[in-house]
Structure 1
Amino acid sequence: MSPQQTNLLAINVLGEFKLRYAGQIITTVTSTRQQALITYMALHTDAPQPRQHIAFQLWPDSSESQARHNLRKTLYQLRQTLPAIEQYLQIDSRTIRWYPAAPCTIDVVAFEQKLAQAATLAANPTVQQACVAEALDLYTGDLLPTCYEDWILPERERLRSLYHNGLVQASQLAESQQDLVSAIHCANQLLRLDPLHETTYARLMRLHMRNQDRAAALQTYQRCVLMLQQELGVQPSAALQKTHRELLRAEQLLSVQPAQVSGQQLVGRQAEWKQLNAAWQQAAQTHVQLCILSGEAGIGKTHLAEAMLAWATQQEFITATAHLFEAAASLVYSPIIDWLREPALQDALQQMDEIWLSQVARLLPDLLVDHPDLSTPTPTSDQWQRRQLFDALARVFRYGDRPKILLIDDLQWCDSETLAWLRYLLSFAHNNQQFGHNNQPLLILATVRREEFDDDHPLTQWLIELRSTHPIGEIALEPLDPEATAQLAIQVGHTALNTEQAALLYQLTGGNPLFVVEMVRAGMDVNREHAPVARMRLPFPLDQTNGDSTRLPPKVQAVIQGRLGRLSVLARHTANVAATTGRAFSFDLLQRISGQSDANLTLALDELWRRGIIRVQGMQLYDFSHARIREVVYAELSPIQKPFLHRQVAQALATIHAGDLAAVSAQIAVHYERAGATTEAIAYYRQAADASHALFAAKDAVAFLKRALALLNTLPTTQANKQQELAILLQLTAPLTNAYGLLTPELPHIAEQARQLAIEVGTSTQLYFALGSLQVASQMRGQFAQAQAIIEERHALAGQWSAYGTQALDSGPPPPNLDHQLGLIHWLR
Structure 2
Amino acid sequence: MANAAIYLFGAPRVELDGAPLVTDTRKATALLAYLAVTRQAHTRDAIAALLWPELDQTRARAALRRTLSALQHGRDLPWLVTAREQVQLALDAQLWCDVHEFEQCVAACPLPLIDADACAAYRPQLERAAALYTEDFLAGFTLRDSAAFDDWQFFQTEGYRHTLARVLDALVQCATVTHDWSAAIQYARRRLALDPLHEPAHRQLMQLYAWDNQHAAALRQYQECVRILDEELGVPPLEETTALDAAIRKHQAPLPPDHPVTAPPALAAIQPTQPPAAIPLLGRAIEWATLQADYDAISVRGGRGRLFVVTGEAGAGKTALATAFAQAQARRGAVLLATAAYPGETPLSYAPLSMLLQRAAAEPALRARLAALDPAVLAEVGRLVPTLAQFHPAGAAPPPDPVTAQSRFFTALAATFTALLAGDLPGVLLIDDIDCADRATLDWLTYFVRRLEAQRICVMLVWRRGELPAGHHLHRHAADGRRQGQVTWIDLTPLSRFDVARWVRLALPSRTTGHETLADRLYAETGGLPFFVTEYLHMLAQDDAASHAAAWRAPASVRDFLLARLAPVTEVARQVLAAAAVIGRSFDLPTVTAASGRSEDETVAALEELLARRLVIETGADRLDFAHAQLRQIVYDDLTHLRRRLLHRRVGDALAMQARRTGDEAGVAGALVQHYRLGGEPEKAAQSARLAGEQAQRVYANRAAVDYFRQALALGAPDACAIHSQLGDLHTLLGEYSQAEAAYTAALTHCSADQRADLEHRLGRLFDRLGDMAAALRHYACAHELLPSDATSLHARVLTDWSLAVLRSGEIGAAAHLAQQGLHAAEAAGDAAALARSQTLLCLLARRQGDVTAALAAGGAAVAAARQQQDVSILAAALNSLALVHADAGDPACAIPLVEEALTQATRIGDRHRAAALHNTLADLHHAGGQEEQAMAQLKQAVVIFAEIGDVAGGENAEIWMLREW
What is the TM-score normalised by the length of structure 1?
A: 0.37
In the superposition, the TM-score normalised over structure 2's length comes to: 0.32
